[in-house]
Structure 1
Amino acid sequence: MSDVDNARWQSDLDLIADAARRAGAVALGHFNQSPEVWWKNEGRSPVSAADFAANEILETLLRAARPDYGWLSEETEDSADRLSRDTLFIIDPIDGTRGFLAGQKLWCVSIAVVHKGRPVAGVLNAPALDELYEAVAGGVALKNGMPIRVSEPKPPVRFAIAEDVLNGFPQPLRARIERIRHVPSLAYRVAMVADGAIDGTFVKRNSHDWDLAAADLILERAGGRLVNLDGTALTYNRADVRHGELCAGSEPLLNEFLSPIAAR
């Protein structure tokens, strides 16, 4: 990567980190305040006034700062125009809305800059926890300004995984896994892997670009990977923004766990 690219992505990281802080402050103002809620996706997914308020400030700040970038947000109507852009913002104004509405602190503002299918700058702001994760291509993953690193898993392996998926593992492998409680924000769950708080996570199918892009880069720069079950990296900004089953963890963990997961 050239020095020009490095400077460009660092500038973008500075921009989205500031935007994430501002949007996080707006969302935090609605937290535990019973914001108005609507239902989308045929009543399966809640969206609140806090989501829309955070999305509005992000769209105002980022589109004005980078008018040539494309835009993909969970709370903005999608446009095919983004497919013609090499670089775009991928946004989830509140990842973990269900937890947010339930008064749980494990939610975050997720912002990524994606260039030619891969994230090059990413930020997760969890304002209720006073945590800010960030990473830039070629750099080091940071949490509140301090470098973070994936764990070196030792038994029992701390894994965020649904019970029905876990039950499909071979018994010897299943016996080595300590299943942690559900984390409502997928982006934050991947950040927990990057931070070494857990060793890995399995992701069920139908997650979306906005759930993953920022956390993917943070995990990569912390020494881990978020991959398809065949071990390949994710590609973002496709026509279909949904993904299949995924796994996140350190390289040794992925080498051990991908084969039995794929063979289920």
Structure 2
Amino acid sequence: MNDAELAAHLARIAGRILLEVRDSGVFEGKALGNAGDETANEFLVHALRAARPDDGLLSEEEKDDTSRLAKSRVWIVDPVDGTREYGENREDWAVHIGLSIDGVATTGAVALPGLDGGVVLHTDQVSPLPEPAAKPRFLVSRTRPAKEAVAVAEAMGGELVGMGSAGAKAMAVVRGEAEVYLHSGGQYEWDSCAPVAVAHAHGLHCSRIDGKPIRYNRANTYLPDLLICRKELADEVLALVAGL
């Protein structure tokens, strides 16, 4: 199978594993989040190394092997994006499997196992974007909305929609449940590589909040901000952020 098919296949299986861990009733709260992270990570790391042994690998739950920096192809994985939401039995968490090629989020899959029936979006299966809402909807953290998002939403007459994981937010834009995901509160490469690959494949604008490209497979994996939105809104959003 090709890279996108592999990413989608593994994301779907990891999602099923996570649901089984959650439904076992053995763990609750933070312990559930930790168990899910560890179990899904073990599966994904072993599967990717078996399927693509020559590629690099970066996972949130794995000690960083800096040999990846010398590789062109690097898989960037978040076994459970939104560990808190997963531990709270919410639906807004995700599994991220992204492939960076020469620093660009090129291929990937994001699974949303908590949704009814489970949903996997990936770069080889692209659907047209639904029609946007009359007032742009801005996805923000449930607990710490980014001040830039709040200010830009107000300036554009938009509304704020609280949601959990970064992957769930990005896929909500892909699925037509919102128009803008503007984040400035700090993230890491595994939080956005797969979502950016999928969002870009669906025709969305993806950049840093200053308009610069998002780069991956760096020595410092901290990636503090990003913008994923409909292309027709990108210039206005970026201009408003620049004026803050």
TM-score between both structures, scaled by the size of structure 1: 0.82
The 2-side partners of 1:151 and 1:217 are apart by 21
1:170–1:183 CA distance, 2 compared to 1 (3 A) = closer
Instruction: Please list, as runs of the form range in 1=range in 2, the aligned pairs for 1:23-102 lying within 5 A after superposition.
Output: 23-31=14-22, 33=25, 35=27, 47-102=33-88
Structure number with higher strand proportion: 1
Q: Which runs of 5+ in 2 are unaligned?
A: none
Quick one: percent identity of the two aligned structures?
27
1:116-195 map, 5 Å? 116-129=102-115, 130-136=118-124, 141=126, 147-149=127-129, 151-152=131-132, 154=134, 156-161=135-140, 162=145, 164-169=147-152, 173=155, 176-180=157-161, 182-195=162-175
- Aligned in 2, Cα 1:64/1:37: closer, same or farther, shift over 3 Å? farther
Q: Is the 8 A contact 1:226 1:249 kept in 2?
A: yes
1:13-71 deviation digits (Å, cap 9, x = unpaired): 111221112111111112253637769xxxxxx95111110010111111011110001
Q: Tell me how far apart the structure 2 counterparts of residues 90 and 51 of structure 1 sit (CA, whole Å).
A: 15
Q: Shift in Å at residue 150 of structure 1?
A: 6.0
Change (3 A) 1:214 1:150: farther
Paired residue secondary structure (2:220): coil
Q: Residue in 2 aligned with 1:42?
A: none
Query: 1:114 aligns to what?
Result: 100
Q: Would you say the 8 A contact 1:150–1:250 is kept in 2?
A: no
Following superposition, which runs of at least 4 residues in structure 1 exceed 6 angstroms of deviation? 36-39
Residue identity in the other structure for 1:185: S
Task: Give TM-score, length-normalised by structure 2.
Answer: 0.89
Give secondary structure in 2 for the equivalent of 1:112. Answer: strand
Structure 1 unaligned regions, length at least 5: 1-9, 40-45, 142-146
Q: CA deviation at 1:245?
A: 2.6
1:192-237 deviation per Cα after TM superposition (whole angstroms, max 9, x unaligned):
1122110101112421111101110111111112211221220010
